């Protein structure tokens, strides 16, 4: 394992991360290196801390009262607590479990992030809009109705719009928390394809409950259990030769 990690370049490193919700110790002594331009899947039973962990990476937990962390998380070698939180979030985008486009037009949804960064040039915004929608594989479906409400899209389209919205920020990392759990198999397939394509440009961290999904799309997998990372490695290795019994049992669907 050591050997493998040295071969790739790390985008994010996590060292002895602990997270507390008040007295509740939600993440315990986590050490992980997330390599650049790969897809890292996080699996584990419900309540084990996957969402909590992924939200550490763009500091969304800052919003929660009584939440505190120890340890260090770095992005390209810089501690994320030293990076301005709005800048961090432009570099680390996020897609949520339930599609949550803003109640505005499709255009305004995608342009929202860049506009908030002060980009006003219409030409530039249109360019971003088109590029992001093309990358999110949504362009052909919505190019004639960019000014229609985003809420008029189907669930799968909405989720791709949310991905486009994240892409519009030109982030380095995209975090996805169960992005397909609210979607039907066909929409799920589309998004999975999209995620694989995005790997060319972005580092992706994805939480999923579907073993098959993790197997299909990810390069690496981390197995979380009760706030700890039980096992972390190449997806193929982890699925074929898990080191721990719990991993084995979880993968085979015995608990969780």
Partner 1 sequence: MRNRHRRIQIDSAVRIIFQAVSYLSVIALIAMLGFVFYQGIRPFTAPTADQIQIVPEHIPQLTVNGRMYENRRSFIDIPMDAEGITIEFEHQGEHLVVNAGIDPSGDTWEEIITFPPELHQYITSPEAYMYTIILPSAVAGLEQRIHIQIPEPRQQVSAFLLGSEWRPVYRKLYGILPMIAATLLTTAGAVLLGVPLALLSSVLIAEFLGRRSASLVRSAVDLLAGIPSVVYGFFGLMMLVPLIQRIFGSSSGSSLLAAVAVLSVMILPTVISITVTSLKAVPAAYREASLALGATPLQTAWRVVFPAARSGITASVILGTARAVGETMAVMLVAGNSPQFPSSLTDSVRTMTATIALEMGYSSGRHNELLFSIGIILFVIIIALNAIIMKLKTNMQEVS
Residues of this chain that bind partner 1 (CB under 8 A): 58, 60, 63, 65, 86-90, 93-94, 96, 98, 100-104, 112-113, 116-117, 151, 162, 165-166, 169
Dist. CA 217–CA 137, nearest whole Å: 17
Dist. CA 6–CA 144, nearest whole Å: 47
Hey, is 127 helix, strand or coil? helix
CA distances from 98 to 156, 159, 180 (A): 10, 8, 8
Residues in contact with ligand ATP, total (CB under 6 A)?
12
Question: Considering the rule CB under 5 A, would residue 180 count as an interface residue with Mg ion?
Answer: no
60 contacts: CB under 8 Å, gap ≥ 6: 94
Question: Considering the rule CB under 6 A, would residue 126 count as an interface residue with ligand ATP?
Answer: no
Out of partner 1, Mg ion, ligand ATP, none, which partner does residue 191 contact, by CB within 5 to 8 A per kind? none
Reported as type and span, the H/E element at residue 132 is: helix 122-135
Q: What is the DSSP letter of 154?
A: -
Out of partner 1, ligand ATP, Mg ion, none, which partner does residue 24 contact, by CB within 5 to 8 A per kind? ligand ATP
Out of partner 1, Mg ion, ligand ATP, none, which partner does residue 26 contact, by CB within 5 to 8 A per kind? ligand ATP
Q: Give me the phi and psi of 38, to 5 degrees please.
A: -135, 165
Q: Which is nearer to ligand ATP, 51 or 158 (CB)?
A: 51
Q: What is the DSSP letter of 99?
A: -
> Whole-number minimum distance, CB 95 to partner 1, in Å?
9
Question: Considering the rule CB under 6 A, would residue 92 count as an interface residue with ligand ATP?
Answer: no
Among 26, 73, 174, 217, binds ligand ATP (CB under 6 A): 26
Binding positions for Mg ion, 46-85, rule CB under 5 A: 51
Reported as type and span, the H/E element at residue 195 is: helix 185-198
Question: Considering the rule CB under 5 A, would residue 157 count as an interface residue with Mg ion?
Answer: no
Structure tokens at 172: 């380095």
Question: Considering the rule CB under 6 A, would residue 49 count as an interface residue with ligand ATP?
Answer: yes
Footprint of ligand ATP (CB under 6 A)? 21, 24, 26, 44, 46-52, 64
């Amino acid at each position: 394992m050591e050997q493998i990690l040295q071969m790739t370049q790390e985008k994010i490193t996590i060292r002895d991360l602990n997270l507390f919700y008040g007295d509740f110790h939600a993440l315990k002594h986590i050490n992980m290196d997330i390599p650049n331009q790969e897809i890292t899947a996080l699996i584990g039973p419900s309540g084990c801390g996957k969402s909590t962990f992924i939200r550490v990476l763009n500091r969304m937990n800052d919003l929660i009262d009584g939440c505190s962390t120890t340890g260090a998380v770095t992005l390209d070698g810089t501690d994320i607590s030293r990076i301005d939180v709005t800048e961090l979030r432009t570099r680390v985008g996020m897609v949520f479990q339930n599609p949550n486009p803003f109640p505005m037009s499709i255009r305004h949804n995608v342009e929202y992030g860049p506009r908030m960064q002060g980009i006003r040039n219409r030409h530039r915004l249109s360019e971003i809009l088109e590029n992001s929608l093309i990358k999110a594989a949504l362009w052909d479906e919505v190019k004639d109705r960019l000014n229609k409400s985003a809420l008029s899209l189907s669930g799968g389209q909405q989720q791709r719009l949310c991905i486009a919205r994240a892409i519009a920020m030109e982030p380095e990392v995209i975090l996805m928390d169960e992005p397909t759990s609210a979607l039907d198999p066909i929409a799920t397939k589309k998004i999975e394809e999209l995620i694989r394509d995005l790997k060319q440009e972005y580092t992706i961290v994805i939480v999923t409950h579907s073993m098959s999904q993790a197997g299909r799309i990810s390069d690496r997998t981390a197995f979380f259990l009760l706030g700890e990372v039980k096992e972390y490695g190449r997806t193929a290795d982890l699925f074929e030769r898990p080191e721990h019994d719990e991993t084995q049992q979880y993968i085979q669907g015995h608990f969780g």
